[in-house]
Amino acid sequence: MLGAPTDAAEVDKNAADLAKLLDVYEAHLAAGNKYLAGDAFTLADANHMSYLFMLTKSPKADLVASRPHVKAWWEEISARPAWAKTVASIPLPPAV
């Protein structure tokens, strides 16, 4: 994404590990939890925002998009006004 060489094997290994974690989040959110720590937005959610932002801009974005509850959670937390201001200041390379 930033122009450096990519180690595809390492990406795939980390994607598999992340998929397991996102499956846990999917089950937790599907059980009726609005956020990771319950019904209120907390640091548990905020801590994930920069990572999920970059993930959703990558070829592995389906890790989020394929999990409906994780996707809905991401769409809600990333719609927060403070996050919109933050994202506007992140220098990203042009989309390919």
- Residues 23-59 pLDDT 10s: 999 999 999 999 999 999 999 999 999 999 999 988 9
Partnered with residue 35 across adjacent β-strands are 38
CA distances for 55 relative to 11, 39, 64, angstroms = 11, 24, 8
pLDDT exceeds cutoff 60 at 82: yes
Residue 94: per-residue pLDDT: 64
Coil vs helix vs strand at 52:
helix
Greatest CA span in the chain, whole angstroms? 41
What pLDDT score was predicted for residue 7?
A: 86
How far from chain centre, in Å, is Cα 38? 18
Query: What does the pLDDT read at residue 91?
Result: 78
- pTM score, two decimals? 0.88
Average pLDDT of span 85-96: 77
**Residue labelled with tokens 């998929």:** 19
